[in-house]
């Protein structure tokens, strides 16, 4: 995970699975503690996110204070489908692209 240089947020690449989940959860923790109203997760180079990774994202989003949101930029299609299936009313997550 690398911080974005032109907007608040992080860039991820590869797979988000059992082996990489600690780094993913640490990034989500940094995002949750940020005082930014909108945080971006640039995911165009992510090839796979397991259900536990999507769940960690949803739990983070649910814990954000009112008015804050996470913008997912070009996430894998499966991430979007899992969010829509299990967290259809998660208003603090916006998906852009893909």
pLDDT tens track for 46-60: 999 999 999 999 999
- Is the pTM higher than 0.85? The answer reads yes
DSSP one-letter code for 88: T
| Structure tokens, 55 | 């769940």
pLDDT tens track for 61-93: 999 999 999 999 999 999 999 999 999 999 999
Residue 34's Cα: distance from chain center in Å?
14
Q: What pLDDT sits at residue 20?
A: 95
DSSP one-letter code for 14: E
Nearest one of 79, 85, 86, 61 to 12, comparing CA atoms: 79
Q: What pLDDT sits at residue 97?
A: 82
């Amino acid at each position: 995970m690398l911080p974005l240089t032109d907007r608040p947020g992080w860039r991820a690449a590869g797979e988000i699975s059992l082996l990489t989940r600690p780094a993913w959860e640490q990034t989500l923790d940094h995002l949750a503690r940020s005082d930014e109203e909108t945080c971006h997760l640039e995911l165009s180079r992510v090839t796979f996110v397991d259900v536990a990774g999507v769940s960690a994202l949803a739990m983070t989003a649910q814990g954000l204070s009112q008015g804050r949101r996470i913008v997912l930029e070009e996430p894998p299609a499966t991430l979007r489908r899992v969010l829509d299936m299990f967290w259809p009313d998660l208003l603090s997550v916006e998906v852009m692209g893909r």
